[in-house]
A and B are shown apart, each in its own frame.
Chain A
């Protein structure tokens, strides 16, 4: 009998186990990464960086009971690290992908495009922590208690970040006027 004949089933390779563990989550990781970065190639790079860091920890990943929130927290940390590094070497931030922008902009007039640019600029001006809570809660719909557990941040801190971020972003949009133009017209007519 040759030495490697055994009744114990051979364990799959680390690469296979890693693939089986991570592949089901790649789309949602990419989606959240896109919300963070606003560009497809940056989102893919962010997910790639995360996977590269996680591969040596395949055994640990197998012991994680609920992997998706764990992965999203890791992605969040990777995003924060990435932005911190970028801030040490400043570069122009172009928030939105050409594909996404074309979908949004194709039928919009100049003023709305300007508003879009102002909003992109406001998003780029948010800290990564503020951007994350805006995108995950407001856009992706994660409830704040779930986010607090996922990101391991106090819910009060998240609320505070959300409030501040919304205030910054609202400034980029036209406010809902409390005094409509018709009132001014009436005054003029008097």
Chain B
């Protein structure tokens, strides 16, 4: 029986023609892209719809779509050659990924990091983290991260304390958050509240390392709070009596304070009646840290 297959040489010619056409198509594509690059075009992210609309198109595959956009965003924001890459940063993380998969924690943390460190916009990071906190009330890490942005970038210690407090309300929160929370009061100037928090950490900690660290804070804060209390008592005495006291016991005998505080080593504070200065007999532990 005669075979009906085409001659071998003809098939080879067709294959070569196909490869040649493919190469030409690739060349044309290269030219198209070169021309497009020279023209002022629209931003590639301009038409990326909100996550609310993308969810409809995802047909139940919201999670995988969020993964894909998150993976793409990491590559995109890691490309330092794109000059205006932060233009739609908030939209990508807050409006698209967070809407597609609100329980996906990594994009909140990575997005906040890019916004803070790369785009230098900590307030944008806080807006993203705030959204994450609302959607994931059981994830202490988001409130912790927001507190850290306030502490490290904004130097807004009072706001940081609020976030750390929010993280502490979540069961399973890492104990370090408690330390930061206590320290925020110190940084914000509320040493009495900081002393109260560190004392509680010291009294409740079981880890010897944590207890030692907490004690160092309690030690220094107690000295500072005592010195501040004695300083204000001395001012009240001076205003009332028109002179400085000869010794600190006069503050008690004339009813300015009910009793004199003792330093962490259970000693009296040193008082100079000439200058009116109160000093600590020992050395602060954390000075210079």
Partners in one complex: no
